[in-house]
Structure 1
Amino acid sequence: MVKCNSPYAYCEKCIIDMDGMDSQGGIICCDTAEDIDFDRVEILKQCEYAEEI
């Protein structure tokens, strides 16, 4: 699982690991994840808030 440490995050889990329960059925947007095409490996490399746990 990837933890998001951004102060602006909706919850602690990165969007790439969220399901309908995490997002409470809504759509969660993350510009960083979107710019990297939701690629887990690249998010962990490039996102300053992503932390693998």
Structure 2
Amino acid sequence: MLLDSIQLMLIEPNLEEAHLDVADTAEMYKNDRAMYESIVQSWTQLYEMEDNAQ
């Protein structure tokens, strides 16, 4: 049940109830998906490389 909830949240994020600290991210997700995807990819690569270095 918990994993189903997490999966749903990742597939269909509820941007109307975004927390204040992620409001800019939610706005970017809605209005500039290409920029959002680019930033997500950059951060993923950055932290993936850090994890692999340890």
TM exceeds 0.5?
A: no
Relative contact order: is structure 1 or structure 2 higher (C-alpha 8 Å, sep ≥ 6)? 1
Task: Report the TM-score when normalising by structure 2.
Answer: 0.28
Q: Which has the larger radius of gyration?
A: 2
Q: Determine which structure has the larger strand proportion and give its number.
A: 1
TM-score normalised per structure 1: 0.28
